[in-house]
Amino acid sequence: MPLVAGRNSPPPLYRMIANLSKPVVFALYRLRAEGVEDLPPEGGFVLAANHVSAFDPWPLGLALYPRSVHFMAKAELYNPALKPILEGCGAFPVRRGERDAESFRTAVRLARAGGIVAIFPEGTRRAKGFRKRYIAQPHVGAARIALAAGVPLVPVGIMGTDRLARLGPLRVRFGPPIQLDTESARRKAARTATDELMQRIAVLQAA
């Protein structure tokens, strides 16, 4: 199913999943979103968030509902069972660990056309045990997409998704857009923006 560029009203499957999830996420897990009023009211932008749980897209997407969010999902998830669901919700695949020109073009096209594109710069979830003993190197893809599309890059902190069994509260905090350097070479600008992005995400998580 081809993605509709810039679609801000959710497709039918997205709406169904969101409406079924709202009672659980807002009532049981007490989701609260902060900073939504500071987001661009119209036009596309890139959301970049920390990633600690496979559940992260739910509170992030519901924090902005009924606006639609296009999630960049790892290509491994696109098996025969999940592919129709992911495509029906407006997600698109990315091959991790390599340059994926097609996913980059898709993300830029969506953002330029007014869509909201969500990316987890660390590329994979932070897990307990081994992965906690090293610092994940964030990828510059979110900044590259924002620079190429000419749209804001917005940091997001997601808290509580690693404690779902305890029924702890979920929090999503949106920060002001990162100031992008459009005068320098794009590679340098993307790295500078990514460094600031990760610092801002850490502050949002700790607030």
The pLDDT score that the predictor gives to residue 83 is 93
Whole-number pLDDT of residue 138: 83
Beta strand 171-174 with 153-159 is antiparallel
Q: How far apart are alpha carbons 189 and 180 in whole angstroms?
A: 7
Measured distance CA(131)–CA(192) in Å, rounded: 25
Coil, strand or helix: which one is 203? helix
Looking at residue 69, its pLDDT comes to: 96
Output the pLDDT for position 127: 54
User: Closest Cα to residue 192, out of 120, 143, 142, 119?
Assistant: 143
- The helix/strand/coil state of 97 is coil
Indicate the domain borders of the chain.
12-206
Q: 35, 154 in Cβ contact below 8 A? A: no
The domain made up of 12-206 has a fold known as Glycerol-3-phosphate (1)-acyltransferase (3.40.1130)
The residue type of 59 is: P
* Per-residue model confidence (pLDDT) at position 65: 96
| pLDDT confidence of residue 4 | 52
- What is the C-alpha to C-alpha distance for residues 111 and 70, in angstroms, rounded to an integer? 9
Q: Rounded to whole angstroms, how far apart are CA atoms 117 and 98?
A: 19
Q: How far apart are the first and last CA of the chain?
A: 40
Q: What is the pLDDT of residue 23?
A: 94
Residue 190, pLDDT score: 96
Per-residue pLDDT of the chain (207 residues; tens, 9 = 90+): 445 555 568 999 999 999 999 999 999 999 999 999 989 988 999 999 999 898 999 999 999 999 999 999 888 989 999 999 999 999 999 887 667 799 999 999 999 999 999 999 986 655 544 444 445 578 899 999 999 999 999 999 999 999 998 888 999 999 999 999 989 899 999 999 999 999 999 999 997
Distances in Å between the alpha carbon of 31 and those of 20, 62, 168? 15, 9, 10
DSSP H or E segment with residue 83:
helix 83-88
pTM exceeds 0.85 for this model: yes
